[in-house]
Structure 1
Amino acid sequence: MRELRPLTPDRVGDLVGSCAPCTFWQTVPRNGHSDPSEPLVLLAEWVESVTADWGPPGRIAYVDGQPAGHVVVAPARHVARLAAFPTSPSDPSTLMLVTAVTTPEYAGRGLRKALVQSAAKDALRHRVRSLEAVAARPLAVSRHACVLDVGFLEKVGFRVERDHPAYPRLRIDLRTVVTLRDEAAAAIARALDRVPGVRPVPESHPSGSSHAHVSDRD
């Protein structure tokens, strides 16, 4: 069985990655030290806060009950780490793609791209006109694994909105990508169909630091 479920406080333990849960984007170091809170506790509180203000901040993909990947999105006002980047948006309501990651066995199967498409579909439900992301170029020094790579974002339709030699901000205009409304669920299905033994089930509808490894593959 496969399905997409909203990211909720009780599901933060299902976020994937070599060092998940990731709280990189949700926190800013204090005097060189990370927030002392337990990552799961801090992330659950963050998810609850974003949900109350905007809605579930992402989706988790499951295959036979096991997490296979996730995507996280949130308005810029909830993404504290943006303040550390020179290309952070000036509008706190800007919807940001925070991360998109899959487990190693799904790398290269198109699931990460499909998760980004599902985030765009959710954004359209909120009548959001665009989705943005601060990403890293290959020249970025000491690039954190949670910062998406420019190459991946450009492959899925993002374009540079504000350039920078290391950390540009990219944007996708959702008004020009109307096919996302119909294709996101199908893309997830196609990606998971490539896994032997996986049977399709309907996509679930949404109700209503530690580090994470991010593969550079689609």
Structure 2
Amino acid sequence: MRELLPLTPDRVADLVGACAPCTFWQTVPRNGQADPREPGELLLDWVETVMADWGPPGRVAYVDGEPAGHVLIAPARHVPRLAAFATAPSDPSTLMLLTAMTLPGQADRGLRKALVQTAAKDALHHRSRSLEAVAARPLAVSRHACVLDAPFLEKVGFRVERDHPAYPRLRMELRTVVTLRDEAAAALARALARVPGMRPVPETHPNGSSHAHVTHPD
């Protein structure tokens, strides 16, 4: 059984992988000195701050009740480390995908992709038009394990917005996600309309999209 639950302060301890706990995106060393607080404490403070301003900054994945991965997402104004990248967005409200991490073996089962897809749905819920990420090209991945790899993002629907030899900024246009979903729903409705005894009925969701569910004749 797989669950992807909102990242809340009580779930910070369930973050997994090489970047847990990790405050790479949440901090910037000042005069060569890092924040003296423990990473777990810093991350907890960050989650509370983002929640108060915007909402849960990600999801934690559980497989059979055990933590198996997580994804972090937040507006650029809450990501201090972006200032260290030449490709950082200029708009502080830009929604950023920061990390998508799973335990060994889970990525092969599609969990990492599912985490990114869920982050995109959360972005849609916040009425964002796009989701962006500063990513690492293959030669730079080993230098920053907490920076998402560009090839993976391109496979799941991101495209280069601002290029860079090592750290390009990529974007996923969320209206494309909505369009593909609605086209799939329309195709299903057309197929059901050709099946005797099936009558698709449009169902509208709070986000404005519609899909068809099936009713049987009385």
Quickly name the TM-score band, shorter chain normalised.
0.7 to 0.9
1:128-154 CA-to-partner distances (Å, cap 9, x unmatched) read: 000000001123286210001110000
Q: Do the aligned partners of residues 19 and 158 (structure 1) sit closer, same or farther apart at CA in structure 2, a change above 3 Å counting?
A: closer
The 5 Å alignment of 1:57-76 reads: 57-76=57-76
User: What is the deviation of 1:105?
Assistant: 2.8
Pick closer, same or farther for the CA change 1:180–1:12 going to 2, 3 Å: farther
- Equivalent pairs counted in the alignment come to 183
Is 1:4 aligned to 2:11, yes or no? no
Residue by residue, what CA displacement relative to the aligned partner does 1:3-28 show, whole Å, maximum 9, x if unpaired? 12110111111001135111100000
SS in 2 for 1:74: strand
Unpaired segments of 5 or more residues in structure 2? 185-218
Which secondary structure does the structure 2 equivalent of 1:139 belong to? helix
| Farther off after superposition, 118-127 or 27-36 | 27-36
**Aligned-partner Cα distance in 2 for 1:173–1:142:** 28
Partner residue in 1 for 2:194 = none
1:1-218 equivalent positions in 2, closer than 5 A: 1-140=1-140, 143-178=143-178, 179=180
For residues 148 and 69 of structure 2, the distance between their equivalents in structure 1, rounded to whole angstroms, comes to 15
Structure 1 residues 141 and 7 mapped into 2: Cα distance closer, same or farther (>3 Å)? closer
RMSD: 1.8
Deviation of 1:2 (Å) = 2.7
Q: 1:112 to 1:141 in 2, by over 3 A?
A: closer
| Residue in structure 1 matched with residue 190 of structure 2 by the alignment | none
Q: Quote the Cα distance in structure 1 between the aligned partners of 2:69 and 2:183.
A: 21
Distance 1:147 1:76 in 2: 15
Residues 94-134 of structure 1 deviation map (CA, whole Å, 9 limit, x = unaligned): 00001001001313111101100000001101110000000
Paired residue secondary structure (1:42):
helix
Larger radius of gyration: 2
105 and 126 in structure 1: CA distance in 2 versus 1, 3 angstrom threshold: same
Task: Please identify which structure carries the higher strand content.
Answer: 2
Q: Deviations over 1:164-189 (max 9, x none)?
A: 00100000100111146999xxxxxx
Question: Partner letter of residue 134 of structure 1?
Answer: V
Q: Output the CA distance in 2 between the equivalents of 1:61 and 1:2.
A: 7
Contact 1:23 1:43 in 2 (8 A): yes
CA distance 1:23–1:180, shift in 2 (3 Å): farther
Query: Is the 8 Å Cα contact of residues 139 and 165 (structure 1) preserved in structure 2?
Result: no
List gaps (5 residues or longer) in structure 1.
184-218
**Cα distance in 2, alignment partners of residues 129 and 14 from structure 1:** 30
Aligned with 2:22: secondary structure?
A: coil
Off by >3 Å, runs of 4+ in structure 1: 179-183
Encode CA deviations 1:186-208: one digit per residue, 9 max, x unaligned: xxxxxxxxxxxxxxxxxxxxxxx
CA distance in 2, matches of 1:102, 1:157: 19
> Could you tell me how far apart the structure 2 residues matched to 1:35 and 1:166 are?
27
- The answer to whether the Cα contact below 8 Å between 1:59 and 1:70 also exists between their aligned partners in 2 is yes
Q: Percent identity?
A: 80
| Distance (Å, rounded) in 2 between the aligned partners of 1:149 and 1:141 | 6
